[in-house]
Amino acid sequence: MAALALLVAGCSSQNPYDYPWRESWDDNTPVTPDDPDVPVITGKPRYVWVDAAANYQYYANDAAYITEDCKRIAKMGFTDIIVDVRPGSGDVLFTSSVAPACTKVAAWVNGRYKWVERTATFDYLASFIQAGHAAGLRVNAAINTMVGGYHTSIGDVGMLYDRPERKGWCSVDNLKGGLTNAMEDPETGPRFLDPANPEVQEYLLSLLGELAAYEGLDGIVLDRCSYDDHSLDAGYTEAALSGFTTYLGAAPSTWPVLPQGQTYVTNPSTLQRNWLAFRCKVIHDFIAAAADKVHSVNKDVRFGVYVGAWFSEYYSSGVNWSSPNYQLAKNESSYKWANANYQKTGFANLLDFIFLGAYAGTNGIHGSGEWTMEGFAKLGAKRLCGEVPFAAGPDIGNGSGFENGKQQALIPDIVNTMLESSDGLFIFDLCHIRMFDYWDAFEKAISAYLETVK
């Protein structure tokens, strides 16, 4: 009851436990498994992410791996898979007339980059849909959204490097040498696009239209629908300046450049607060257009996003994932980066589902604040105001204490805590389940949870 009172206090909306989506959200029997050994799943949904690059070596050239792993995922007790079909290169793993096919990725293998190439021609996404449905899973496709290439120590890959004339689509970042196009950044990593560029938006909406038309697809999830690398340094393009001028109603006297290399600000100027809200408005408006695009093609495909649950810092990404009904000024009075219009940029009400990365370490399962899994989930519920179902959970391979595996004993507590404090369980990533042999641990933990909800 205390948690419910806290949630209601943060929102100007109806009873957070009385929303029309809840009945369908908890109904997790959309298909009948072909394999009688795979159980029909009940209870809150359980999602596992399947990163493209990290799992490429298994699936790129062998559909049999896809079939077998979908069976194993269902046997563990997960209800859904989220299949990454557009890695950081910006190339795609589905049939597209808009984007180039992904034929290789620079995978991080044994502490270094290694090229993993694809020579097979079978439809990667369609294979997951077929195998997933046969196993009794719902299949959701994820894309790395605002990216278009990947720079590594062993070379470059992706649509931007294939089409140099698209350099103008890139983010412009405030680096040590001044404002720099992302294509000229010497650091390794994904090359982000400019979210304010109308050509970028049109291109991505075309991709989403193709995905939404995929036969049998259950949902679409946007990942990295944000500014460059969660950075305050990103976004200083001519398209952004034009949009910012419209937002202000007059041209700014100077670029609202924030201190270089910082991930948060303590006392921004009025112009800087307006700039931070403008960036969030750009992402909000794109997500609104993306939701409309997906639902106009197929109203039955669920649409959502993945975000990091660390809301207190996530504004640096140009992302406000809260509900527009969340009373930010009242509940987060210490957040001086938010202007009076920041609350309007919340986009939770535009989504069918959302995934919160509750990426705390092994010592942070329980708690009430950020950087604990439970705290991330409970604060997420407060900020979402019950407007959208959310699944939360950890990164079980990169979080502090998870890096070397051997954490089987913690998995039951993680599963129970996330399912008790969220609308569903979210686990990143399947590669870590494989790497650290967590198959049995998740199966036992989820089975035990299901016994409690019979």
In this prediction, residues 380-405 reach a mean pLDDT of: 97
Tokens of 197: 């560029």
User: How many structural domains is the chain composed of?
Assistant: 1
Residue 40: per-residue pLDDT: 62
State the amino acid at position 220 in one-letter form.
I
Residue 317: per-residue pLDDT: 94
Q: Is 326 exposed, middle or buried (0-12, 13-18, 19+ CB in 10 A)?
A: buried
Band (pLDDT 50/70/90 cuts) for residue 314 is very high
pLDDT at 361 over 90: yes
Band (pLDDT 50/70/90 cuts) for residue 5 is very low
Distance CA 286, CA 222 (A): 11
pLDDT in tens, 247-262: 999 999 888 888 777 7
Tokens of 329: 């000024």
Q: Quick one: what percent of the chain has pLDDT higher than 90? A: 81
pLDDT at 177 over 90: no
Q: Which helix or strand (DSSP H or E) is residue 173 part of?
A: strand 172-175
186-189: long-range contacts, CB 8 A cutoff, minimum separation 24: 187/151, 188/113, 188/151, 188/152, 188/153, 189/88, 189/150, 189/151, 189/229
Distance CA 288, CA 112 (A): 38
**435 contacts 57 by C-beta, under 8 angstroms:** no
**CATH code, domain with 413:** 3.20.20.80
pTM: 0.93
> 440: how many CB neighbours lie within 10 A of its CB?
12
Looking up tokens 């607060």 gives 273
**Alpha carbon 446 to chain centroid distance?**
23
Residue 11: per-residue pLDDT: 60
In this prediction, residues 175-195 reach a mean pLDDT of: 93
State the amino acid at position 207 in one-letter form.
L
pLDDT at 332 over 60: yes
Lowest-pLDDT range of 237-241, 281-285, 334-338, 390-394: 334-338
In this prediction, residues 232-252 reach a mean pLDDT of: 95
pLDDT at 4 over 80: no
Residue 6 CA: distances (Å) to CA of 79, 222, 383: 30, 29, 10
Residue 366 CA: distances (Å) to CA of 109, 360, 377: 32, 10, 10
> 197: how many CB neighbours lie within 10 A of its CB?
22
Q: Check residues 191 and 21 and name the one with the higher pLDDT.
A: 191
* DSSP conformation letters of 353-376: EEEEE----TT-SS-SSTTSHHHH
In this prediction, residues 321-330 reach a mean pLDDT of: 94
Band (pLDDT 50/70/90 cuts) for residue 9 is very low
Distance CA 399, CA 229 (A): 18
pLDDT at 30 over 90: no
Residue 118: per-residue pLDDT: 98
Band (pLDDT 50/70/90 cuts) for residue 368 is very high
User: In this structure, what DSSP letter does residue 214 have?
Assistant: S
Q: What residues are paired with 221 via a beta bridge? A: 142, 304
**What's the mean per-residue pLDDT of the chain?**
91
Residue 24: per-residue pLDDT: 54
Q: What residues are paired with 49 via a beta bridge? A: 82
State yes or no: cis peptide before 194, omega within 30 of 0: no
Q: Which domain holds residue 134?
A: 2-452
148 Rama class: left (phi>0) / alpha (psi -120 to 50) / beta: alpha
Band (pLDDT 50/70/90 cuts) for residue 130 is very high
Torsions phi, psi of 189, nearest 5? 135, 180
Q: Quick one: what percent of the chain has pLDDT higher than 70? A: 91
3-state class percentages of the chain: helix first, strand second, coil last, to nearest 5 = 40, 20, 40
**260 contacts 205 by C-beta, under 8 angstroms:** no
**430 contacts 49 by C-beta, under 8 angstroms:** yes
Residue 109: per-residue pLDDT: 78
Distance CA 150, CA 440 (A): 35
- Let me know how long the chain is: 454
Band (pLDDT 50/70/90 cuts) for residue 266 is confident
Band (pLDDT 50/70/90 cuts) for residue 306 is very high
Residue 90 three-state SS: coil
Tokens of 191: 């090359």
